[in-house]
Amino acid sequence: MREIPMAEYTILSNDEIESLLAQYTIGKAFSHEPLKGGQANSSYKITTETGEYILAVCDEKNEVEAERLAKVLVHLESQGFPTSRVVKTTKGSSVINAKDKPAYLKKYMAGETRRRLSPGMVYQVGQTMADLHAIPPLADLPDQFPYGRQAFGELADIRHEFVQWLALKQEFLAETIDPLSKRRLIHGDIYWDNLLFEGERLAAILDFEEACCYYQLFDIGMCTVGCCASDGRFDFEKVKALLGGYQQRRPLDIRQRSEMQAFMVYAAAAGAFWRFRQYNVRHPGTGLAQSYLELSSLADQVHHMPMADFNQLFD
């Protein structure tokens, strides 16, 4: 049978997709097509007589991790949080097997991603992220971010100027970040392409692949990287809008405000680490080997910002 070409990691034939869908009571499938843009999943949009769905194949998660993700999504649905709704199989399972990789089906959500977010849109993201941080975390969530500081040492044996730069950032973070800083259920990857908008209204935050019980401020920091920057530079008007929206629902105390700058450095450095490792070590030859430079520039920009200037973002 003809296979559907994809830019992602897993290719499923038409017959393979139909066999997977037979495990659900979603009616007859009319069409299925690959979706572009996933960096950790291979995704297909499915249209059936009961509606539209997304079949996500987890390319970088094992079955236990995929089950945990599905459990998080079910938990968020129970709390009324706007995100993906998992569909269970006829046997009540949330996760299935697709070419020896875990996969899950979720309801398709209407809306569009917007690369360029206005300050008003970012303000809504801040509000919704504050709502997320009010939701109790599940007991079995990881207490480390998948590509946080504990993972930086994976590059220690590589001779490259980025590895030297990362070691300096690691030293700064070790001296600056309080290990007792507040932890919450975090998304960890709130980039513009994980947000759905209907017009100017935020409809959903998607893809809780990196969800964990980790530093609340790290989540905010990563969101500034993903929603308030372009071409390696922060737009501080948008950063201010994000913080304003967040604090409208969940005010930051004086100590948290003093830590926010370091957590923005941390988030940008973690993102740079992920891109370097992904496109120079794990999957070289993709044409993205230099993409880490955009995020390392963000880390340097906010790191070198005078604290007095940074504090004006809270005014």
Average pLDDT, the chain: 93
Please identify, among 74, 107, 140, the residue that sits at the C-terminal boundary of a domain: 107
CATH code for the domain in which residue 20 is found: 3.30.200.20
User: Does residue 230 share a domain with residue 180?
Assistant: yes
Q: Is residue 3 part of a domain?
A: no
- Tell me the C-alpha distance between 130 and 300, whole Å: 26
Q: Alpha carbon of 262 to those of 22, 190, 315: distances in Å?
A: 49, 18, 18
Q: Is residue 9 part of a domain?
A: no
User: Does residue 303 share a domain with residue 168?
Assistant: yes
- Average pLDDT of span 34-60: 86
- The answer for residues whose C-beta is within 8 angstroms of residue 164's C-beta and 6 or more apart is none
| Partners of 53 in the β-ladder | 46, 107
Contacts of 50-54 spanning 24+ positions with Cβ under 8 A? 50/26, 51/26, 51/107, 51/108, 52/107, 52/108, 53/26, 53/87, 53/105, 53/106, 53/107, 53/108, 54/84, 54/105, 54/106, 54/107, 54/108
Say what the pTM is: 0.90
Residue 39 scores a pLDDT above 70: no
Q: Is residue 250 part of a domain?
A: yes
Number of H helices, E strands in the chain: 9, 12
User: Does residue 203 share a domain with residue 247?
Assistant: yes
Please identify, among 73, 107, 141, the residue that sits at the C-terminal boundary of a domain: 107
| pLDDT band at residue 192 using 50, 70 and 90 as cut-offs | very high
The phi, psi pair for 105, rounded to 5°, reads -110, 135
For the residues of 161-185, what is the DSSP string, one character each?
HHHHHHHHHHHHHHHH--TTS-EEE
List pLDDT tens digits, range 212-270. Answer: 999 999 999 999 999 999 999 999 999 999 999 999 999 999 999 999 999 999 999 99
Q: Is residue 53 part of a domain?
A: yes
Domain total of the chain: 2
User: Does residue 267 share a domain with residue 243?
Assistant: yes
Residue 25 scores a pLDDT above 60: yes
CATH code for the domain in which residue 183 is found: 3.90.1200.10
- Token pair for 285: 């030859």
- Average pLDDT of span 70-79: 96
Residue 211 scores a pLDDT above 90: yes
User: Does residue 62 share a domain with residue 123?
Assistant: no
User: Does residue 295 share a domain with residue 151?
Assistant: yes
Q: Is residue 6 part of a domain?
A: no
User: Does residue 137 share a domain with residue 94?
Assistant: no
- Tell me the C-alpha distance between 31 and 23, whole Å: 17
Output the pLDDT for position 127.
Answer: 99
- Tell me the C-alpha distance between 245 and 249, whole Å: 7
User: Does residue 38 share a domain with residue 169?
Assistant: no
List pLDDT tens digits, range 8-20. Answer: 478 888 889 999 9
| pLDDT band at residue 38 using 50, 70 and 90 as cut-offs | low
- Tell me the C-alpha distance between 185 and 139, whole Å: 10
User: Does residue 174 share a domain with residue 83?
Assistant: no
User: Which strand (E) or helix (H) includes residue 105?
Assistant: strand 101-107
Please identify, among 61, 77, 107, the residue that sits at the C-terminal boundary of a domain: 107
Q: Is residue 113 part of a domain?
A: no
Helix, strand and coil in the chain, % to nearest 5: 45, 20, 35
The residue range of the domain holding 257 is 119-314
User: Does residue 265 share a domain with residue 131?
Assistant: yes
Q: Is residue 191 part of a domain?
A: yes
| pLDDT band at residue 64 using 50, 70 and 90 as cut-offs | very high
User: Does residue 96 share a domain with residue 132?
Assistant: no
| pLDDT band at residue 59 using 50, 70 and 90 as cut-offs | confident
List pLDDT tens digits, range 259-311. Answer: 999 999 999 999 999 999 999 999 899 899 999 999 999 999 999 999 999 99
